[in-house]
């Protein structure tokens, strides 16, 4: 009957465990432990019979040399101990192989990273070198155009200054002489309109980017041009009286002396509460230094023009 069939269904595992004898329980636990050890023995140092660097399908099996065991009288227990020790040795050897492989991979990755960095630095150097050559080419083109405009009688101030600076950088030939005296770069700022000054400001900025060999000259030109623009728009930060006092303190000093004085003024500004005054002094000092740089460059250009003219048997104007 259905009632009888229901009572004959298999018992649940826990119910079976409660009813098993002590001997059965011991046998079950030993079987469970043996299965666990068997699973653990399936791998040695992370390698199995099917996957290991030695291609050994019997890597995890205990090896017992039967003939030797018979010959030297080794007991089964001793053979198992020897096999177990051998497995530990194999595991240690495999661990060394694994560590060596990992070390090799780390070294290769470090080498590849260093190679990538070197390649990047070489690319950057190549780019910088190309940029330098491009700047030199553009500067030469700018100078050639400046000379041509001078020869054609349509030179701008910046053309005359560019041509004058080129006299200082090369063994100039008499044919490279300016038709007239090299202009004083300071004079043009005193007679230019605001529009002309703004145009000149752009020319100065472009030459400053290209002509790194005369960076100090073009930086000084930029400072004097900025000051002239401020004056033309009526934007002054100090009164004429204060400016006169500052100019009297700075008058007659060379750029090197002004550089030394600047350091002293910066130190005084840190100790004095009158920061506005010392800020005005520093701004005026930078302008005075810029004017001194331009005056010195103008003197060198004139002397060089005269030397080239004498060497060529001719004469320079003025």
**Of the candidates 272, 250, 271, the residue with the CA atom closest to the CA atom of residue 259:** 250
Q: Which residue has the tokens 């030397």?
A: 307
Cα three-residue angle 76-78-82, rounded to 5 degrees? 115
Higher pLDDT, 11 or 55: 55
pTM: 0.52
Given a contact cutoff of 8 angstroms between Cβ atoms, the answer to whether 48 and 55 are in contact is no
Helical packing angle, 275-311 and 215-232, nearest 10°: 120
Helical packing angle, 157-169 and 194-210, nearest 10°: 30
How confident is the model at residue 315, as a pLDDT?
A: 44
Render pLDDT for 28-43 as a digit per residue (tens, 0 to 9): 888 787 777 666 655 6
How confident is the model at residue 211, as a pLDDT?
A: 84
Given a contact cutoff of 8 angstroms between Cβ atoms, the answer to whether 79 and 67 are in contact is no
Cα 300 from chain centre: 39
Average pLDDT value for residue range 75-90: 82
Given a contact cutoff of 8 angstroms between Cβ atoms, the answer to whether 253 and 261 are in contact is yes
How confident is the model at residue 219, as a pLDDT?
A: 92
Render pLDDT for 164-209 as a digit per residue (tens, 0 to 9): 787 777 665 555 556 667 778 888 787 788 888 888 888 888 888 8
Cα 57 from chain centre: 54
Integer Cα distance of 89 and 82 in angstroms = 11
% of the chain residues with pLDDT over 90: 4
Average pLDDT value for residue range 127-151: 75
Given a contact cutoff of 8 angstroms between Cβ atoms, the answer to whether 257 and 205 are in contact is no
**Of the candidates 188, 190, 179, the residue with the CA atom closest to the CA atom of residue 157:** 188
Render pLDDT for 3-21 as a digit per residue (tens, 0 to 9): 444 445 555 456 556 677 8
Cα 219 from chain centre: 26
**Of the candidates 244, 257, 255, the residue with the CA atom closest to the CA atom of residue 295:** 255
% of the chain residues with pLDDT over 70: 75
Label residue 184 exposed, middle or buried (CB < 10 Å: 0-12, 13-18, 19+).
middle
How confident is the model at residue 207, as a pLDDT?
A: 85
What pLDDT band is residue 317 in, cutting at 50, 70 and 90?
A: very low
Q: With 80 as the cut, is the pLDDT of residue 48 above it?
A: no
Q: Is 44 helix (H, G, I), strand (E, B) or coil?
A: strand
């Amino acid at each position: 009957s259905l009632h009888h069939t229901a009572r004959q269904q298999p018992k649940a595992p826990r119910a079976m465990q409660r009813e098993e004898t002590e001997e059965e329980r011991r046998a079950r636990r030993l079987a469970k432990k043996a299965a666990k050890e068997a699973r653990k023995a399936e791998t040695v140092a992370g390698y199995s019979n099917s996957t290991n660097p030695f291609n050994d399908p019997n890597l995890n099996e205990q090896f017992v040399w039967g003939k030797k065991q018979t010959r030297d009288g080794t007991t089964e227990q001793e053979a198992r101990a020897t096999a177990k020790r051998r497995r530990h040795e194999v595991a240690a050897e495999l661990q060394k192989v694994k560590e060596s492989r990992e070390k090799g991979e780390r070294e290769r990755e470090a080498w590849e990273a260093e190679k990538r960095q070197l390649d990047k630095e070489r690319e950057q150097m190549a780019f910088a070198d190309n940029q330098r050559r491009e700047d030199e080419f553009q500067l030469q083109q700018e100078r050639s155009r400046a000379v041509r405009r001078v020869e054609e009688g349509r030179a701008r101030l910046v053309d005359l200054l560019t041509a004058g600076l080129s006299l200082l950088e090369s063994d100039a030939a008499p044919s490279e002489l300016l038709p007239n005296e090299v202009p004083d770069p300071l004079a043009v700022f005193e007679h230019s309109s605001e529009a002309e000054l703004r145009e000149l400001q752009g020319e100065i900025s472009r030459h400053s980017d290209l002509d790194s060999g005369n960076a100090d000259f073009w930086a000084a030109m930029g400072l004097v041009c900025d000051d002239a623009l401020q004056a033309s728009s009526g934007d002054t930060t100090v009164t004429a009286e204060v400016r006169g006092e500052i100019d009297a303190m700075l008058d007659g000093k060379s750029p090197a002396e002004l550089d030394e004085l600047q350091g002293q003024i910066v130190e005084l500004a840190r100790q004095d509460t009158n920061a506005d005054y010392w800020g005005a002094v520093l701004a005026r000092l930078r302008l005075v230094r810029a004017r001194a740089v331009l005056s010195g460059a103008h003197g060198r250009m004139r002397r060089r023009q005269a030397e080239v003219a004498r060497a060529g048997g001719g004469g320079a104007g003025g």
